[in-house]
Amino acid sequence: MRSAKDFFRPLAVGAPDPLREIPARPSRAIHFFDPSNPKMAAKVPDMVGTVDVLLGNLEDAVKAENKDAARDGLVRIAKETDTLGARRGPTQLWTRVNALDSPWGLDDLTTLVTEIGDVLDVIMVPKVEGAEDIHYVDRLLAQLEAKAGLDQPLMVHAILETARGMVNVEEICAASPRMQGISLGPADMAADRRMKTTRVGGGHPGYLVRQDPADGSEESIAAERTTYQQDLWHYTISRMVDACVSNGIYPFYGPFGDIADTVACEDQFRNAYLLGCVGTWSLHPKQIAIANKVFSPSVEDVTHARRVVAAMGDGTGAVMLDGKMEDDASCKQCLVMVQLADQLAAVDPELKKQYDAIEPVSEKAGA
């Protein structure tokens, strides 16, 4: 393991200095597109400014025979769309490269860093199993950055999609100063764990608890009883959030495959938002608005949070507001909301309008 002093030294001569802190950029929707699909590729320039992140996907969902075309397509799109990428416009440019053990992963990294490394913000690495995967990518990126003469380091985002990755999630988050965040990959995770769901993310009606029978009789056991569906992903997302936050990086939900079920999609995204995730993936244009809505605090929440912060003055002590106790801790909860709203308002004019319309807080501690 590197010493604390060495952690922020470049891993190759001529590579840029590693980041000391990961920038908190709004990343509510990471919108996936296949750069080898002409229809999707044609839509990218018009999507800049409408979504926080555009991600050129080279891995799963791109056919093997299209892997080279997808890589070349992403290079072309990045070069031709001169407002794409956080250094050039409002929308970040990410990529998901092929797995490190695949026939394409090395060419993906080599080509993308040397051709468009000055425009790319984050490289998503799938099927990360342990710190060793991040160490490999870390050194290779430093060599490629030096070769390409880049002045800013690329960030790395891991997908949590194997049981081993889950067991090692804390060490993955801590493996490099490049680590920007982690997304849950529920489809690969379910397969690797041998979970018996064939859905791409979301809940399952079979994962439930049932009300007790009225008594022990056969009739009461056979009778209709209330059931409550449980969250299949609660443990996984919660552990991922703790691992990310304790290492100063960002947790994200991943894909929701039932494109038609926009309601359940919104529910899954909201569960992740409430547990601490900062964004999610969007697989189809119609999921972008859902993600933006869910991962932006509501006007009601921002109104309440601003009132609590104002009532709490210097943030210490306890006050009553609308019959509820507020204190230092609940003030911190409200600051999370207020700060996120400010960050998002800076990039989203429509949201800014809504937050600006909130009546200014005049009251101090209420009764």
Ligand X SMILES: CC(=O)SCCNC(=O)CCNC(=O)[C@H](O)C(C)(C)COP(=O)(O)OP(=O)(O)OC[C@H]1O[C@@H](n2cnc3c(N)ncnc32)[C@H](O)[C@@H]1OP(=O)(O)O
Instruction: List binding-site positions.
Output: 96, 161, 188
Residues 193-212 that bind ligand O=CC(=O)O (CB under 6 A): 200
By CB under 6 A, what part of segment 166-205 binds ligand X? 187, 200
Q: Does 129 bind ligand O=CC(=O)O (CB under 6 A)?
A: no
Minimum distance between the CB of residue 98 and Mg ion, rounded to whole angstroms? 11
Whether the CB-CB separation of 132 and 169 falls below 8 Å is answered with no
Is residue 253 involved in binding ligand X (CB under 6 A)?
Answer: no
Looking only at residues 211 through 240 of this chain, which bind ligand X when binding is defined by CB under 6 A?
Answer: none
Of the two residues 117 and 201, which places its CB atom closer to ligand O=CC(=O)O in the complex? 201
**CB closer to ligand O=CC(=O)O, 59 vs 138:** 59
Q: How far apart are CA 325 and CA 195, in angstroms?
A: 42
Tokens of 268: 């899954």
The residue (of 41 and 124) whose beta carbon lies closer to ligand O=CC(=O)O is 124
In the range 174-233, which residues lie near Mg ion by CB under 5 A? 185, 188
State the burial class of residue 364 (Cβ atoms within 10 Å of its Cβ: 0-12, 13-18, 19+): exposed
Encoded one letter per residue, x for contact with ligand O=CC(=O)O by CB under 6 A and - for no contact, window 169-198 reads ----------------xxxx----------
Partners of 227 in the beta sheet? 210
Q: Is 105 in the site for ligand O=CC(=O)O (CB under 6 A)?
A: no
Give the span between the Cα atoms of 47 and 135, in whole angstroms. 34
Q: Determine if 155 is a binding residue for ligand X (CB under 6 A).
A: no
Q: Closer CB to ligand X, residue 31 or residue 304?
A: 31
The one segment of 35-43, 84-92, 147-155, 269-277 that binds ligand X by CB under 6 A: 35-43
Q: Are 115 and 73 in contact (CB under 8 A)?
A: no
Q: Which residues share a beta bridge with 31?
A: 54, 282
**Four-residue CA torsion sign, 189, 102, 170, 288:** negative
Q: Residues 43, 88, 293, 352: which binds ligand X (CB under 6 A)?
A: 43
How many residues bind ligand X (CB under 6 A)? The answer is 16
Q: 111 is written with which tokens?
A: 């080509």
> Closest Cα to residue 315, out of 300, 302, 305?
305
CB 93 within 8 A of CB 84: yes
Q: Of 176 and 236, which CB lies nearer to ligand X in the complex structure?
A: 236
- Based on the shown chain and the rule CB under 6 A, indicate whether residue 56 belongs to the binding site for ligand O=CC(=O)O: no
List of residues 6+ apart from 134 with CB closer than 8 A: 125, 128, 156, 158, 172, 175, 176, 178, 179
Token couple for 155? 């960030």
Residue with nearest beta carbon to ligand O=CC(=O)O: 185
Render the burial of 277-308: b for 16+ CB within 10 Å, e for the rest: bbbbbbbeeebbebbbebbbbeeeebebbbbb
Footprint of ligand X (CB under 6 A):
32-34, 39-40, 43, 57, 60-61, 187, 200, 255, 259, 283-285
